[in-house]
Structure 1
Protein backbone atom coordinates (compact mmCIF):
# COMPACT_ATOMS: atom_id res chain seq x y z
CA UNK A 1 0.00 0.00 0.00
CA UNK A 2 1.30 3.44 -0.96
CA UNK A 3 0.08 6.57 0.80
CA UNK A 4 0.28 9.97 -0.87
CA UNK A 5 0.56 12.53 1.91
CA UNK A 6 -0.23 16.25 1.48
CA UNK A 7 2.38 18.63 2.86
CA UNK A 8 2.07 22.24 4.00
CA UNK A 9 5.29 24.24 3.79
CA UNK A 10 6.37 27.27 5.78
CA UNK A 11 9.44 29.02 4.35
CA UNK A 12 11.33 31.85 5.99
CA UNK A 13 13.43 34.68 4.66
CA UNK A 14 16.52 32.78 5.78
CA UNK A 15 15.58 29.87 3.50
CA UNK A 16 14.67 27.56 6.36
CA UNK A 17 11.63 25.42 5.68
CA UNK A 18 9.29 23.59 8.03
CA UNK A 19 7.23 20.90 6.34
CA UNK A 20 4.00 19.83 8.06
CA UNK A 21 2.09 16.62 7.33
CA UNK A 22 -1.44 17.91 6.85
CA UNK A 23 -3.11 14.67 7.92
CA UNK A 24 -0.76 13.85 10.79
CA UNK A 25 -0.73 16.74 13.30
CA UNK A 26 2.63 16.73 15.03
CA UNK A 27 4.57 15.21 12.14
CA UNK A 28 6.89 17.91 10.86
CA UNK A 29 10.50 18.57 10.02
CA UNK A 30 12.66 21.71 9.71
CA UNK A 31 15.58 21.94 7.32
CA UNK A 32 17.79 24.76 5.92
CA UNK A 33 16.18 24.39 2.48
CA UNK A 34 12.79 23.44 1.02
CA UNK A 35 14.04 20.45 -0.96
CA UNK A 36 15.71 18.98 2.11
CA UNK A 37 12.55 19.35 4.22
CA UNK A 38 10.28 17.80 1.58
CA UNK A 39 12.73 14.98 0.95
CA UNK A 40 12.89 14.09 4.63
CA UNK A 41 9.13 13.96 5.19
CA UNK A 42 8.35 10.41 3.97
CA UNK A 43 10.66 8.97 6.61
CA UNK A 44 9.33 11.39 9.25
CA UNK A 45 5.72 10.43 8.52
CA UNK A 46 6.59 6.72 8.60
CA UNK A 47 8.29 7.16 11.98
CA UNK A 48 5.31 9.12 13.29
CA UNK A 49 2.87 6.41 12.20
CA UNK A 50 5.03 3.73 13.85
CA UNK A 51 5.12 5.82 17.03
CA UNK A 52 1.32 6.11 17.06
CA UNK A 53 0.93 2.36 16.50
CA UNK A 54 3.31 1.73 19.39
CA UNK A 55 0.74 3.43 21.63
CA UNK A 56 -2.10 1.36 20.24
CA UNK A 57 -3.52 3.82 17.71
CA UNK A 58 -5.32 2.02 14.88
CA UNK A 59 -3.73 3.81 11.95
CA UNK A 60 -2.64 2.21 8.66
CA UNK A 61 1.01 1.23 8.22
CA UNK A 62 1.83 1.90 4.54
CA UNK A 63 4.61 0.09 2.73
CA UNK A 64 5.55 3.27 0.89
CA UNK A 65 4.86 6.95 1.50
CA UNK A 66 4.84 9.62 -1.15
CA UNK A 67 4.37 13.33 -0.53
CA UNK A 68 2.77 16.19 -2.41
CA UNK A 69 3.07 19.88 -1.54
CA UNK A 70 -0.45 21.31 -1.34
CA UNK A 71 0.30 24.65 0.33
CA UNK A 72 3.37 26.85 0.45
CA UNK A 73 3.60 29.96 2.65
CA UNK A 74 6.61 32.27 2.44
CA UNK A 75 7.57 34.82 5.10
CA UNK A 76 10.28 37.45 5.38
CA UNK A 77 10.98 36.47 8.99
CA UNK A 78 13.60 33.89 9.85
CA UNK A 79 12.34 30.41 10.68
CA UNK A 80 15.53 28.95 12.11
CA UNK A 81 15.40 27.59 15.69
CA UNK A 82 11.79 26.47 15.46
CA UNK A 83 10.13 29.77 14.74
CA UNK A 84 6.71 29.27 13.18
CA UNK A 85 3.58 31.34 12.59
CA UNK A 86 1.82 29.70 9.65
CA UNK A 87 -1.94 29.58 9.39
CA UNK A 88 -2.68 26.96 6.76
CA UNK A 89 -5.92 26.33 4.92
CA UNK A 90 -6.39 23.14 6.92
CA UNK A 91 -6.23 25.17 10.14
CA UNK A 92 -9.42 26.96 9.09
CA UNK A 93 -11.55 23.81 9.05
CA UNK A 94 -13.65 23.15 12.13
CA UNK A 95 -12.73 20.19 14.31
CA UNK A 96 -15.12 17.43 15.27
CA UNK A 97 -15.31 16.22 18.86
CA UNK A 98 -13.85 12.93 17.67
CA UNK A 99 -10.84 14.76 16.25
CA UNK A 100 -10.39 16.67 19.51
CA UNK A 101 -10.34 13.40 21.45
CA UNK A 102 -7.83 11.99 18.97
CA UNK A 103 -5.54 15.01 19.29
CA UNK A 104 -5.67 14.77 23.09
CA UNK A 105 -4.75 11.07 22.98
CA UNK A 106 -1.78 11.90 20.80
CA UNK A 107 -0.76 14.63 23.23
CA UNK A 108 -0.82 12.04 26.00
CA UNK A 109 1.41 9.74 23.94
CA UNK A 110 3.80 12.65 23.43
CA UNK A 111 3.92 13.43 27.14
CA UNK A 112 4.54 9.78 28.02
CA UNK A 113 7.39 9.74 25.52
CA UNK A 114 8.91 12.87 27.04
CA UNK A 115 8.61 11.62 30.61
CA UNK A 116 10.17 8.29 29.65
CA UNK A 117 13.24 10.25 28.55
CA UNK A 118 13.67 12.39 31.66
CA UNK A 119 11.95 10.81 34.67
CA UNK A 120 14.88 8.55 35.51
CA UNK A 121 17.44 11.36 35.41
CA UNK A 122 18.92 12.60 38.69
CA UNK A 123 18.06 16.25 39.48
CA UNK A 124 21.60 17.43 38.77
CA UNK A 125 21.40 16.01 35.24
CA UNK A 126 18.63 18.46 34.38
CA UNK A 127 21.12 21.32 34.83
CA UNK A 128 24.15 19.61 33.38
CA UNK A 129 26.33 21.87 31.29
CA UNK A 130 25.51 25.38 32.50
CA UNK A 131 24.20 25.20 36.09
CA UNK A 132 24.83 28.94 36.55
CA UNK A 133 21.86 29.59 34.26
CA UNK A 134 19.30 28.19 36.67
CA UNK A 135 16.47 30.68 37.04
CA UNK A 136 17.82 32.83 34.22
CA UNK A 137 16.85 33.14 30.60
CA UNK A 138 19.30 31.38 28.28
CA UNK A 139 20.63 32.94 25.11
CA UNK A 140 18.68 33.27 21.88
CA UNK A 141 18.38 30.22 19.67
CA UNK A 142 18.70 27.81 22.57
CA UNK A 143 22.28 28.83 23.42
CA UNK A 144 23.05 27.74 26.97
CA UNK A 145 19.81 25.81 27.41
CA UNK A 146 19.78 22.88 29.80
CA UNK A 147 17.19 20.10 30.05
CA UNK A 148 15.71 22.10 32.95
CA UNK A 149 15.20 25.12 30.66
CA UNK A 150 13.71 23.08 27.84
CA UNK A 151 11.16 21.41 30.12
CA UNK A 152 10.10 24.73 31.65
CA UNK A 153 9.83 26.21 28.18
CA UNK A 154 7.55 23.39 27.00
CA UNK A 155 5.29 23.95 30.01
CA UNK A 156 5.12 27.71 29.56
CA UNK A 157 4.47 27.63 25.83
CA UNK A 158 1.76 25.00 26.25
CA UNK A 159 -0.29 27.38 28.37
CA UNK A 160 0.49 30.24 25.98
CA UNK A 161 -0.92 28.30 23.02
CA UNK A 162 -4.23 27.65 24.76
CA UNK A 163 -4.44 31.27 25.97
CA UNK A 164 -4.58 32.43 22.35
CA UNK A 165 -8.20 31.22 22.26
CA UNK A 166 -9.06 31.27 25.96
CA UNK A 167 -8.09 34.47 27.71
CA UNK A 168 -7.84 34.89 31.46
CA UNK A 169 -6.69 31.39 32.36
CA UNK A 170 -6.08 31.09 36.13
CA UNK A 171 -2.52 31.48 37.35
CA UNK A 172 -0.89 28.19 38.24
CA UNK A 173 0.94 27.50 41.50
CA UNK A 174 4.63 28.37 41.35
CA UNK A 175 7.01 25.44 41.17
CA UNK A 176 10.75 25.18 40.60
CA UNK A 177 10.35 21.59 39.40
CA UNK A 178 10.01 21.48 35.61
CA UNK A 179 8.23 18.12 35.76
CA UNK A 180 5.68 19.51 38.19
CA UNK A 181 5.23 22.58 35.99
CA UNK A 182 4.59 20.30 33.03
CA UNK A 183 1.98 18.37 35.02
CA UNK A 184 0.26 21.54 36.25
CA UNK A 185 0.14 23.09 32.80
CA UNK A 186 -1.09 19.93 31.11
CA UNK A 187 -3.84 19.56 33.71
CA UNK A 188 -5.04 23.08 32.92
CA UNK A 189 -4.82 22.51 29.18
CA UNK A 190 -6.88 19.32 29.41
CA UNK A 191 -9.46 21.02 31.61
CA UNK A 192 -10.00 23.57 28.84
CA UNK A 193 -9.80 21.27 25.82
CA UNK A 194 -11.62 18.14 26.95
CA UNK A 195 -15.05 19.73 26.74
CA UNK A 196 -14.98 22.47 24.10
CA UNK A 197 -18.22 24.22 23.30
CA UNK A 198 -19.60 23.74 19.81
CA UNK A 199 -18.64 27.29 18.87
CA UNK A 200 -15.05 26.66 20.00
CA UNK A 201 -14.64 23.95 17.35
CA UNK A 202 -14.89 26.52 14.55
CA UNK A 203 -13.90 29.77 16.27
CA UNK A 204 -11.01 31.81 14.89
CA UNK A 205 -9.28 34.82 16.35
CA UNK A 206 -6.20 36.97 15.87
CA UNK A 207 -3.82 37.06 18.81
CA UNK A 208 -0.09 37.76 19.21
CA UNK A 209 0.10 38.70 15.53
CA UNK A 210 -1.24 35.35 14.31
CA UNK A 211 -4.54 33.79 13.34
CA UNK A 212 -5.63 30.96 15.65
CA UNK A 213 -8.21 28.19 15.62
CA UNK A 214 -8.56 25.18 17.86
CA UNK A 215 -7.11 23.01 15.11
CA UNK A 216 -4.01 25.21 14.94
CA UNK A 217 -3.65 25.27 18.73
CA UNK A 218 -3.68 21.47 18.86
CA UNK A 219 -1.30 21.21 15.91
CA UNK A 220 1.16 23.52 17.62
CA UNK A 221 0.84 21.69 20.95
CA UNK A 222 1.75 18.41 19.27
CA UNK A 223 4.54 20.05 17.30
CA UNK A 224 6.20 21.88 20.15
CA UNK A 225 6.68 18.97 22.52
CA UNK A 226 8.22 16.89 19.72
CA UNK A 227 10.39 19.67 18.24
Structure 2
Protein backbone atom coordinates (compact mmCIF):
# COMPACT_ATOMS: atom_id res chain seq x y z
CA UNK A 1 0.00 0.00 0.00
CA UNK A 2 1.20 3.49 -0.87
CA UNK A 3 0.36 6.39 1.47
CA UNK A 4 0.67 9.92 0.12
CA UNK A 5 -0.23 13.06 2.06
CA UNK A 6 -0.51 15.93 -0.38
CA UNK A 7 -2.10 19.27 -1.11
CA UNK A 8 -4.33 18.42 -4.01
CA UNK A 9 -7.59 18.97 -5.83
CA UNK A 10 -9.68 16.06 -7.11
CA UNK A 11 -12.12 15.70 -10.00
CA UNK A 12 -14.29 12.67 -10.78
CA UNK A 13 -15.47 12.38 -14.38
CA UNK A 14 -17.84 9.81 -15.85
CA UNK A 15 -21.34 8.69 -14.87
CA UNK A 16 -21.28 11.56 -12.39
CA UNK A 17 -19.02 14.53 -11.84
CA UNK A 18 -17.62 15.76 -8.52
CA UNK A 19 -14.97 18.27 -7.49
CA UNK A 20 -12.88 18.57 -4.34
CA UNK A 21 -11.09 21.94 -4.11
CA UNK A 22 -7.46 22.30 -3.11
CA UNK A 23 -6.75 20.96 0.41
CA UNK A 24 -4.40 18.62 2.25
CA UNK A 25 -5.57 15.01 1.94
CA UNK A 26 -4.44 11.41 2.31
CA UNK A 27 -4.22 9.40 -0.93
CA UNK A 28 -4.27 5.61 -0.58
CA UNK A 29 -3.09 3.47 -3.49
CA UNK A 30 -3.84 -0.20 -2.83
CA UNK A 31 -2.36 -3.31 -4.41
CA UNK A 32 -5.77 -4.30 -5.79
CA UNK A 33 -5.74 -1.17 -8.00
CA UNK A 34 -8.10 0.97 -5.95
CA UNK A 35 -7.29 4.60 -5.14
CA UNK A 36 -9.00 6.37 -2.23
CA UNK A 37 -8.98 10.04 -1.20
CA UNK A 38 -9.39 10.71 2.53
CA UNK A 39 -9.67 13.81 4.69
CA UNK A 40 -8.97 14.02 8.43
CA UNK A 41 -12.70 13.70 9.16
CA UNK A 42 -15.65 11.69 7.98
CA UNK A 43 -14.69 8.51 9.82
CA UNK A 44 -13.80 5.55 7.58
CA UNK A 45 -15.44 6.74 4.35
CA UNK A 46 -13.25 8.31 1.64
CA UNK A 47 -14.22 11.61 0.03
CA UNK A 48 -13.86 9.99 -3.37
CA UNK A 49 -12.38 6.81 -4.77
CA UNK A 50 -11.95 4.50 -7.75
CA UNK A 51 -12.70 0.84 -7.21
CA UNK A 52 -10.65 -1.95 -8.82
CA UNK A 53 -9.88 -2.86 -11.50
CA UNK A 54 -8.24 0.46 -12.23
CA UNK A 55 -4.99 1.86 -13.63
CA UNK A 56 -2.99 4.80 -12.28
CA UNK A 57 -0.86 7.07 -14.46
CA UNK A 58 1.26 9.88 -12.95
CA UNK A 59 2.43 12.70 -15.25
CA UNK A 60 3.85 16.22 -14.84
CA UNK A 61 1.17 18.89 -14.68
CA UNK A 62 0.65 20.97 -17.82
CA UNK A 63 -1.49 23.84 -19.03
CA UNK A 64 -4.07 25.28 -16.64
CA UNK A 65 -3.23 22.83 -13.86
CA UNK A 66 0.46 23.74 -13.98
CA UNK A 67 -0.42 27.43 -14.04
CA UNK A 68 -2.57 26.89 -10.93
CA UNK A 69 0.46 25.43 -9.11
CA UNK A 70 0.05 21.68 -9.62
CA UNK A 71 3.24 19.63 -9.96
CA UNK A 72 1.75 16.24 -10.87
CA UNK A 73 -1.50 14.89 -12.28
CA UNK A 74 -2.70 11.45 -11.20
CA UNK A 75 -5.16 9.91 -13.64
CA UNK A 76 -6.99 6.85 -12.33
CA UNK A 77 -9.07 5.08 -14.98
CA UNK A 78 -11.67 2.41 -14.29
CA UNK A 79 -11.13 -0.94 -15.99
CA UNK A 80 -14.87 -1.43 -16.42
CA UNK A 81 -16.31 1.97 -17.38
CA UNK A 82 -15.20 5.31 -18.79
CA UNK A 83 -15.06 6.79 -15.28
CA UNK A 84 -11.90 8.66 -14.35
CA UNK A 85 -10.49 10.13 -11.13
CA UNK A 86 -8.06 13.01 -11.68
CA UNK A 87 -5.90 14.23 -8.79
CA UNK A 88 -3.92 17.44 -9.28
CA UNK A 89 -1.05 17.24 -6.76
CA UNK A 90 0.37 20.63 -5.73
CA UNK A 91 2.70 19.54 -2.93
CA UNK A 92 3.68 16.14 -1.54
CA UNK A 93 4.13 16.19 2.25
CA UNK A 94 4.66 12.46 2.73
CA UNK A 95 5.09 9.47 0.42
CA UNK A 96 5.69 5.93 1.65
CA UNK A 97 4.95 2.36 0.54
CA UNK A 98 4.32 -0.65 2.77
CA UNK A 99 3.87 -4.34 2.01
CA UNK A 100 0.92 -5.46 4.15
CA UNK A 101 1.02 -9.07 2.95
CA UNK A 102 -2.05 -11.27 2.57
CA UNK A 103 -4.87 -10.30 4.91
CA UNK A 104 -6.48 -13.26 6.74
CA UNK A 105 -9.89 -11.59 6.52
CA UNK A 106 -12.34 -10.46 9.14
CA UNK A 107 -12.73 -12.70 12.19
CA UNK A 108 -16.42 -12.59 12.99
CA UNK A 109 -17.83 -12.42 16.49
CA UNK A 110 -19.85 -15.33 17.86
CA UNK A 111 -23.28 -14.07 16.82
CA UNK A 112 -22.17 -13.15 13.29
CA UNK A 113 -20.45 -16.49 12.73
CA UNK A 114 -23.52 -18.27 14.08
CA UNK A 115 -25.78 -16.30 11.73
CA UNK A 116 -23.64 -17.37 8.80
CA UNK A 117 -23.85 -21.05 9.77
CA UNK A 118 -27.59 -20.93 10.40
CA UNK A 119 -28.30 -19.20 7.09
CA UNK A 120 -26.15 -21.75 5.28
CA UNK A 121 -28.30 -24.50 6.82
CA UNK A 122 -31.51 -22.65 5.89
CA UNK A 123 -30.45 -21.12 2.58
CA UNK A 124 -34.03 -21.46 1.30
CA UNK A 125 -34.76 -18.27 3.22
CA UNK A 126 -33.09 -16.45 0.33
CA UNK A 127 -35.76 -17.80 -1.99
CA UNK A 128 -37.19 -21.12 -3.09
CA UNK A 129 -34.74 -23.26 -5.03
CA UNK A 130 -31.53 -21.66 -3.74
CA UNK A 131 -28.76 -24.20 -3.04
CA UNK A 132 -25.60 -23.64 -1.01
CA UNK A 133 -22.37 -24.03 -2.98
CA UNK A 134 -19.89 -23.23 -0.20
CA UNK A 135 -19.34 -21.26 2.97
CA UNK A 136 -16.31 -18.96 3.13
CA UNK A 137 -15.78 -19.01 -0.64
CA UNK A 138 -12.20 -17.74 -1.20
CA UNK A 139 -11.31 -14.63 -3.20
CA UNK A 140 -8.10 -12.64 -3.52
CA UNK A 141 -9.36 -10.10 -0.96
CA UNK A 142 -10.92 -12.48 1.54
CA UNK A 143 -13.67 -15.10 1.74
CA UNK A 144 -17.29 -14.49 0.77
CA UNK A 145 -19.58 -15.69 3.58
CA UNK A 146 -21.84 -17.82 1.37
CA UNK A 147 -21.81 -18.68 -2.31
CA UNK A 148 -25.24 -19.89 -3.43
CA UNK A 149 -26.69 -21.24 -6.66
CA UNK A 150 -29.97 -19.59 -7.66
CA UNK A 151 -32.79 -21.66 -9.22
CA UNK A 152 -32.27 -20.04 -12.64
CA UNK A 153 -28.61 -21.11 -12.68
CA UNK A 154 -27.08 -17.80 -11.59
CA UNK A 155 -24.72 -17.40 -8.65
CA UNK A 156 -25.40 -15.37 -5.51
CA UNK A 157 -22.74 -14.01 -3.13
CA UNK A 158 -24.09 -13.45 0.39
CA UNK A 159 -22.47 -11.19 2.98
CA UNK A 160 -23.78 -11.81 6.52
CA UNK A 161 -23.62 -9.15 9.22
CA UNK A 162 -25.13 -8.67 12.65
CA UNK A 163 -25.60 -4.98 11.87
CA UNK A 164 -25.67 -3.98 8.23
CA UNK A 165 -23.91 -0.69 7.51
CA UNK A 166 -22.38 1.02 4.48
CA UNK A 167 -18.96 -0.62 4.93
CA UNK A 168 -20.58 -4.06 4.63
CA UNK A 169 -22.17 -3.06 1.32
CA UNK A 170 -18.80 -1.77 0.12
CA UNK A 171 -17.18 -5.06 1.13
CA UNK A 172 -19.76 -7.09 -0.81
CA UNK A 173 -19.37 -4.77 -3.82
CA UNK A 174 -15.64 -5.54 -3.92
CA UNK A 175 -16.35 -9.27 -3.76
CA UNK A 176 -18.85 -9.01 -6.61
CA UNK A 177 -16.37 -7.13 -8.80
CA UNK A 178 -13.86 -9.97 -8.38
CA UNK A 179 -16.33 -12.86 -8.66
CA UNK A 180 -17.84 -11.53 -11.88
CA UNK A 181 -14.43 -11.84 -13.55
CA UNK A 182 -14.67 -15.64 -13.19
CA UNK A 183 -16.53 -17.03 -16.24
CA UNK A 184 -17.25 -20.28 -14.38
CA UNK A 185 -19.58 -18.58 -11.89
CA UNK A 186 -20.54 -15.26 -13.53
CA UNK A 187 -22.96 -13.59 -13.52
CA UNK A 188 -22.90 -13.15 -9.74
CA UNK A 189 -25.48 -11.06 -7.87
CA UNK A 190 -25.32 -10.00 -4.23
CA UNK A 191 -27.41 -10.42 -1.10
CA UNK A 192 -26.69 -8.35 2.02
CA UNK A 193 -28.14 -10.23 5.01
CA UNK A 194 -28.22 -8.85 8.55
CA UNK A 195 -30.30 -8.64 11.70
CA UNK A 196 -30.51 -4.87 11.23
CA UNK A 197 -29.76 -2.85 8.09
CA UNK A 198 -29.18 0.88 8.33
CA UNK A 199 -31.21 3.07 5.91
CA UNK A 200 -28.07 4.44 4.26
CA UNK A 201 -26.84 0.88 3.65
CA UNK A 202 -30.19 -0.05 2.07
CA UNK A 203 -30.00 2.91 -0.30
CA UNK A 204 -26.41 2.09 -1.34
CA UNK A 205 -27.23 -1.60 -1.77
CA UNK A 206 -30.25 -0.79 -3.94
CA UNK A 207 -28.17 1.57 -6.07
CA UNK A 208 -25.69 -1.27 -6.71
CA UNK A 209 -28.30 -3.93 -7.42
CA UNK A 210 -27.72 -5.75 -4.14
CA UNK A 211 -30.74 -7.32 -2.42
CA UNK A 212 -31.18 -6.84 1.33
CA UNK A 213 -32.49 -9.62 3.58
CA UNK A 214 -33.32 -9.21 7.28
CA UNK A 215 -32.40 -12.14 9.52
CA UNK A 216 -34.30 -13.14 12.67
CA UNK A 217 -31.69 -14.74 14.92
CA UNK A 218 -34.18 -16.43 17.24
CA UNK A 219 -36.23 -17.80 14.36
CA UNK A 220 -33.08 -19.15 12.69
CA UNK A 221 -32.17 -20.92 15.93
CA UNK A 222 -35.66 -22.38 16.21
CA UNK A 223 -36.39 -20.78 19.59
CA UNK A 224 -38.99 -18.35 18.27
CA UNK A 225 -41.97 -18.89 15.99
CA UNK A 226 -42.75 -15.65 14.13
CA UNK A 227 -46.22 -16.95 13.20
CA UNK A 228 -47.14 -17.19 16.90
CA UNK A 229 -46.40 -13.53 17.64
CA UNK A 230 -49.19 -11.09 18.47
CA UNK A 231 -47.07 -8.14 17.29
Q: TM-score range with shorter-chain normalisation?
A: under 0.3
Which structure: larger Rg?
2
Structure (1 or 2) with the greater helix fraction: 1
TM-score when scaled to structure 2? 0.28
| Larger RCO (CA within 8 A; separation ≥ 6) | 1
